[in-house]
Amino acid sequence: MSTRLEARFRDCAAQGRAALVTFITAGDPDFDTSLSLLKALPAAGSDVIELGVPFTDPMADGPAIQAAGLRALKAGQTLKKTLAMVRAFREGDATTPIVLMGYYNPIYIYGVDRFLVDALTAGVDGLIVVDLPPEEDEELCLPALRAGLDFIRLATPTTDDKRLPAVLANTAGFVYYVSITGITGAATADPQAVGQAVARIKRHTGLPVAVGFGVKTPEQAAAIAAGADGVVVGSALIDALRGTLDAEGHATPATVPAVTGLVGALAEAVRGVRRQAAE
């Protein structure tokens, strides 16, 4: 039986296109607005959802996602509430994959065994934990895989052929290729370099490769979609959300539509790029 992630990437490949992977921060700017947005993403065109788990020290994230995490924490978001959000989403959507993305500390404090049970029960499909390298696989990666959760690893422009097998060894679901060096949202990706990097990674794995960091506009998404199995957009969506908040940082009636409108434009751009289904 295939996982939701396997099924979704397979369906997109069969349609001859890349998947659109969208990132939002759980609880940004508040629980109810965030849940409304989460529920609206699939209809807007999101194929896979990355749900950021707010953390006080998000060292891999750029200013936009850091600020989103702080807004969420200020509004009382916790890992427990993030799992509750996934459960509520699953009441109306049994097929869209959800990947939790964040850092190890909140999971460690929650308790690994308890977290894995609760995440699986809530309807989480995979995990991206950016501060656990392959050398720490016993901490969370291997227990997650045994529990039935995909553990998605990041590869970067500095991940050479010697390092790549270690990165890919226990990766499941898809490989997340970070198209630029540095933090999220800080620069834009070079589609030609990305295409070459994806091809290199695919020589080492049969998993889909999704490309993120530095993809902000529909045009950039389309360019990346030509050479990748998935296109990840995060900071641009967070920026769209932030631009609708009132002076106190609270949601307005424009908040959810601003994000879903951009997702719709990104989805249209990605779907307009035809790829070989056999890739």
Element (H, E) at 26: none
Task: Give CA separation, 101 vs 15, 96, 150, in Å.
Answer: 27, 16, 12
DSSP bridge pairs for 266: none
- Considering 50, 118, 125, 137, which one is annotated as catalytic? 50
Round to whole Å and give the CA distance between 15 and 198: 20
Task: Give CA separation, 201 vs 147, 169, 176, 184, 232, in Å.
Answer: 26, 12, 10, 21, 17
> Pick from 36, 22, 80: which is nearest to 54 by CA?
80
| Tokens read off for 22 | 């969208």
What is the SS3 assignment for 133?
coil
- Considering 28, 30, 47, 61, which one is annotated as catalytic? 61
- Residue whose structure tokens are 């940082």: 249
Round to whole Å and give the CA distance between 81 and 79: 5
Query: Within 13 Å and on the Cβ side, how many CA atoms surround 85?
Result: 29
| Residue 50 known to be catalytic | yes
Round to whole Å and give the CA distance between 215 and 222: 10
Q: List active site positions.
A: 50, 61
